[in-house]
Structures are given as C-alpha cells and as structure tokens.
Amino acid sequence: MLSASHRVLAQDIHAAHPIPLTDRAALDGFAVMASATVGASSYNPLPLPLHPISAGASIPPGADAVIPLDLGQTQASNLVECIEAVAPGENVQMRGSIAAAGALLASAGTDLSPAHVGMLISTGGTNVEAIRRPGVQIFVAPGDSVIDSNGPMCRALALRDGGAVAEILPVERSRPGFRNALDAAEADLVLVIGGTGPGADDHVAGALVEVGEIAIHGIALRPGETAGLGRTRGGTPVVLVPGSPAACFIAYEMLAGRAVRRMGGHDLDLPYQSRTMVTARKIVSAIGMTEVCPVRCQTADIVEPLPSFGEAGLMSAIGGDGFVIVPEASEGYAQGTRVTVYLYEAVASADRKR
C-alpha cells in the first residue's frame, strides 16, 4: 500500500463497514449526557462526572454529546463543571455519517492520490487491488559515446508514466547480442535503445525476428524513423527506439510511453498540458511523415518554431517550451495558424516564466 500512490484502482472500493464505525468525538473535550447539561451557564456551572475524550475517540456508554475543552472546567479528580448546555449529538460524529456500509469510496480506474492512500488504509482497505506497475526492461546498445545518456532518460520517462524500471542493461551491438538480450528479457515491456538503423551494425530488428516477431520496423515519424514494434516469443511487447538522443526521446514519447501508461491503467494521452496557440512563423514538415516540431512560446498565445530535433537534437527540447505534432498528411502550418502545443511544463508555469 506504501507504493499505491500514482497507481490505478483495478476495482471499485466500497466501505466494508460504516464510517465512522462508532459515534465518535468531533473534538477534544468531555463526554457528557446532554440532558444533564440543561440549564448550565457561567452563572450556573453544573458539576458532571469527568470523562475526558479526544477527537476521534468513541463516545462512551452513558454519554451522547461532547462539551469542548473550553466550556468545561475540571474540578477535583472526577468532576467537570459545564458552563454551556449541549444538545444530544452535539460535537459527535455519528456512526456511518461519512459513509454507510457498502458506499462507493473510489471507482475502478481512479488514479490513486496520497489522499486516497490515506482514506483506503483508514477504512481497512489495505489489500486494495490496484493495477500493478508495469515492469519496463531497458536494454541499451552502446553508441559512439562512452557514456549512455539514453538509458537514464528513458528510465526517467518510464517512471513518469508509472512504470517500474530495474537496472538498465547494456547489450552487445551485434545480432547474437540483441538476440540473447531479447530472449532473456522478463518484463511487461521491453525497450531496446539503439541498433535500429539501416547501418551495418544495426541488428536489433533482425534479432527480434529470430526470437519473436517484428510487427513494424521503420515508421513515418520524425525524429524516430527507424523505431520498431514487436513481441518476444513469450508475447512481451518490444519497442525499438533509435540511439540518437532526440529520436530516442520522441520515439519513446510517441510509441513506448503510451504502452506503459496503458498497462498501468493511466490516461493514454501524452502527459503534457496541451494548449491552442498561434504560430509566429511557418512550421515546415515533410509530407508523409508525422513530424514532432519543437517550439518556444513567445507569449501566452504565440509559439515560434525552433530548429528541428534532427538539427539541434535534445537541445531543441531543453531549450524550448514544447512541441507541435504535424500529422502525416500535412506539409506544416502557415504563419498565424492555430495549433495544439504540448508544453513540457504546465501552462501556469510557462506563463510565469515570462
């Protein structure tokens, strides 16, 4: 249950018993029988048996109301002087007043918040059936660079999407290397980074054909043309993403992220705030390719295109405010077109920055 936050409920949760289970004190004070307080005032303090009670504690037998601490004065060791009358049930939270037994507490599909965690535990729901966090296995084929940056980036993305990521495993950039990795993979989704291109040492697609099946290799997405999708022999989905960092980022976002979110029961949409804005300049895209075009916000309503991911790599992501997705059938957008912008930060923060 500790790790239930940001997981998704698999079933409706109903109250197993009335909430609260007993009549209980709504505040710290003294439990009394209301009828015994009739006529009490500061001119006529009435001595009553002393039953101190804490907020949340059950009302003891023989009491039906609570007088607040400041309206009772403890006298001797077993008496409290009451200076204001209370009605029956006053300052008492009645059994079942929050929820009757069987009442719906949270519906299947709810993304569990910290408050849900608190609520469900406190109502005895410690073995809530949440949709389990999908395990994502990340393999990285070494690129030109000695240091792998794609693995940590994809791990951060998968965690964001509600996945569980074990160690990032390096894989030998050869057909047997990829084959052994794919054959040994145990996860809900396998992500292989690198080795997807048409180059001489790009063997991941070939390896996947040998130990499973490849459904798509080469997609009309820019950046990310060489990405692929398939399955291991055991049926585990496999996403192949290019090793070029910007292509890796976008291919993850457009192909893998959605799968991770779906397996965890989360909203399938891209996890960015989207906003309709107007283009300050023409956004150019190749027809026949879905192109992800980085942009920067000029004002709260106007975006300008940045150098493409192909030209400027991840610099266009970290130096920009978001991106526009130009669909396959479009050549881009003329200046002054209203477009949907996916913002890296929430709209509110994007505004504040300027």
* Residue 87 sits in the site that holds a copy of itself (CB under 8 A): no
The rounded distance, in Å, linking the Cα atoms of 139 and 169 is: 5
The rounded distance, in Å, linking the Cα atoms of 182 and 38 is: 79
Helix %, strand %, coil % of the chain (to 5): 20, 30, 50
Cβ contacts of 284 within 8 Å, gap of 6 or more: 305, 331, 332
Binds a copy of itself by CB under 8 A, chosen from 224, 243, 264, 265: 243
* Residue 199 sits in the site that holds a copy of itself (CB under 8 A): yes
Q: How far is the CB of 214 from a copy of itself (least distance, A)?
A: 19
State which residue, 43 or 354, has the beta carbon closest to a copy of itself: 354
The rounded distance, in Å, linking the Cα atoms of 261 and 259 is: 5
State which residue, 53 or 211, has the beta carbon closest to a copy of itself: 53
* Residue 318 sits in the site that holds a copy of itself (CB under 8 A): yes
Which residue in the block uniquely carries the two structure tokens 């004190």?
A: 25
The rounded distance, in Å, linking the Cα atoms of 217 and 240 is: 8
* Residue 31 sits in the site that holds a copy of itself (CB under 8 A): no
* Residue 169 sits in the site that holds a copy of itself (CB under 8 A): no
Peptide bond into 88 cis (omega under 30): no
Residue 122 phi, psi (nearest 5): -70, -20
Question: How many residues belong to the site for a copy of itself (CB under 8 A)?
Answer: 77
Cα first-last separation, the chain: 41
Selected range binding a copy of itself among 75-83, 116-124, 183-191, 276-284, rule: CB under 8 A: 116-124
* Residue 255 sits in the site that holds a copy of itself (CB under 8 A): no
Q: How far is the CB of 114 from a copy of itself (least distance, A)?
A: 4
Residues between 286 and 305 that touch a copy of itself (CB under 8 A): none
Residues between 210 and 239 that touch a copy of itself (CB under 8 A): none
Q: How far is the CB of 132 from a copy of itself (least distance, A)?
A: 17
Q: How far is the CB of 99 from a copy of itself (least distance, A)?
A: 6
Binds a copy of itself by CB under 8 A, chosen from 45, 298, 302, 344: 344
The rounded distance, in Å, linking the Cα atoms of 331 and 351 is: 29
**Length of the chain counted residue by residue:** 354
Angle, CA of 297, 298 and 299, to the nearest 5°? 95
Residue 291 phi, psi (nearest 5): -115, 135
Q: How far is the CB of 151 from a copy of itself (least distance, A)?
A: 9
Binds a copy of itself by CB under 8 A, chosen from 213, 301, 311, 328: 311
The rounded distance, in Å, linking the Cα atoms of 238 and 229 is: 6
Radius of gyration of the chain (CA): 31
* Residue 102 sits in the site that holds a copy of itself (CB under 8 A): no
Q: How far is the CB of 209 from a copy of itself (least distance, A)?
A: 20
Residues between 128 and 157 that touch a copy of itself (CB under 8 A): 143-145, 147-150, 152-157
- Structure token pair of residue 13: 């949760």
* Residue 314 sits in the site that holds a copy of itself (CB under 8 A): yes
State which residue, 183 or 270, has the beta carbon closest to a copy of itself: 270
* Residue 276 sits in the site that holds a copy of itself (CB under 8 A): no
The rounded distance, in Å, linking the Cα atoms of 297 and 314 is: 17
State which residue, 124 or 176, has the beta carbon closest to a copy of itself: 124
